[in-house]
Amino acid sequence: MALTLQTPLYATISSSSSSSSSAASSSSSSTTRSSSFSFLRSTPPPTLIFNFNNNSFPRIRASSTDTVITELDAVSSFSEIVPDTVIFDDFQKFPPTAATVSSSLILGICGLPDTIFRNAVEMALADSECYGLEDNARLSCFAAKALVNIGSDMTKLVPGRVSTEVDARLAYDTPGIIRKVHDLLKLYNDSNVPHDRLLFKIPATWQGIEAARLLESEGIQTHLTFVYSFAQAAAAAQAGASVIQIFVGRVRDWARNHSDDKEIESAKLNGEDPGLALVTKAYNYIHKYGHKSKLMAAAVRNKQDLFSLLGVDYIIAPLKVLQSLKESVASPDEKYSFVRRLSPQSAGRYVFSDEELIKWDQMSLANAMGPAAVQLLTSGLDGYADQAKRVEDLFGKIWPPPNLEMCTSLCRSRDFVSMHDRGGNGHVITALGLYTVQWRLWAGVTVGCLYGDGMHTVITAGGQGRADLRQKSKLSLLSYSFGIICSHLLHCTHHGDRSSNFK
């Protein structure tokens, strides 16, 4: 998802016959969070003029060669429109400006053999730092490294921030959430990913909200999810969460089948959609009282939902809605004429009750959350926890790799090992002692090993890779196609028919 910190712009539609074009961009520094974008706006037809300020959102364009203003262009003037899609769907049509990394995404990657992120999972499973841990801790370590490897790759592909899921099984454990975020952040640091490119997605339990408050005080950006009540949204805003996510459609779906929630019944009595009303109220609270949080409306089901939310910071829209907007030419005569529904000005006029303006704590939050929020939060946590367990179960089935025990036995024996190149050029590598074991999965072969005797270090990597020969201060590269299989290593053979190459 696209999570850039930028101020919503204002747009007007007029009947002027002149034309205009604009480019929107933002820059980033070590102290100010923003991402760098440059977008070309095509010339609109004579009947439409869009005027933008200098802090406009990056917007999804139907095509850089279009000569008309589409509905997608128009709505992007008010809110940042984000494709509700995983990385595999219509990436070219609607490239994401930012992303979320989750257990669900890992499962999807493992089910798709050709995805560019498959290597990120493989390398997580090949990380020796997890090997010495007990079974459950080792699998959790693999999962964390997979999330970070994928997230690190995504930061190179999207201009905005990457939100990384925090294990939902920690939802009621504030210290546990903080430890997990610190662990993930350390892994991102090891990959040289700047902090301002990262968000950490935390369930909006009281414990999660409190964890967000403490993390934000450290300068770590948080993304609170599973917000289904005004009390949660207000408490999250008071905690200083960077992003607050509300699921519009899920609240509406619950309201259709239940009638015992005070907050939802109040919205229905006022003739309002409960999901849209919750977003509106949360937005007004954030902006009226000067909280820094950005509001994200998710589970948007149709164009009417989207039009009703124009002005909110982020709208997560399904691909079918984006496609419909992209194919429709904007017209000021339409029923929904692209009016900004949410704005700081309208927020200033909104009246809150004294009960809604309290300093939220654990007890007041529990008392204010109705059946809808409790049930939807519980359901969401159960789903996320199940996905996290499925990832660990999957990793448990494919780890350890074949021949790992044979290779570690060789490691313990510290026997003299020589690898003879079978490519015909006569090179021989010798080394004493196996220092550590590395392996790779799903790459045709499974095991690579690191040898060293103090003077020589030979790294052989399974699959498509390369090996390093370090002799004193000299670095040489051994390139090969297929690598070394551990069982073959015992027989001192090179697996593959390509010649080794030393320089």
> Cα dihedral angle (347, 350, 355, 356), rounded to 10 degrees?
-20
Question: What radius of gyration do the chain's Cα atoms show?
Answer: 27
Comparing C-alpha atoms, which of 321, 244, 226 is closest to residue 282?
A: 244
35 contacts: CB under 8 Å, gap ≥ 6: 4, 26, 28, 58, 97, 159, 160, 161
CA distances from 203 to 70, 130, 171, 247, 351 (A): 36, 26, 6, 13, 28
CA distances from 174 to 208, 299, 365, 459 (A): 6, 27, 16, 42
348 burial (CB, 10 Å; 0-12 / 13-18 / 19+) is exposed
354 burial (CB, 10 Å; 0-12 / 13-18 / 19+) is exposed
Structure tokens at 502: 């030393």
Q: Say if residues 116 and 152 touch (Cβ distance below 8 Å).
A: no
CA distances from 484 to 380, 416, 440, 480 (A): 45, 17, 11, 9
Strand order in the sheet with 474-480: 434-439, 447-452, 456-460, 465-471, 474-480
Residue type, 151: G
What is residue 51's three-state secondary structure? coil
Residues known to be catalytic: 201
> Cα dihedral angle (325, 328, 330, 334), rounded to 10 degrees?
-100
Helices vs strands, H then E, count in the chain: 17, 17
The angle subtended at Cα 380 by Cα 376 and Cα 385, nearest 5°, is 150
CA distances from 444 to 172, 188, 399, 401 (A): 42, 28, 16, 12
d(C-alpha 467, C-alpha 460), whole Å = 5
Structure tokens at 23: 């480019």
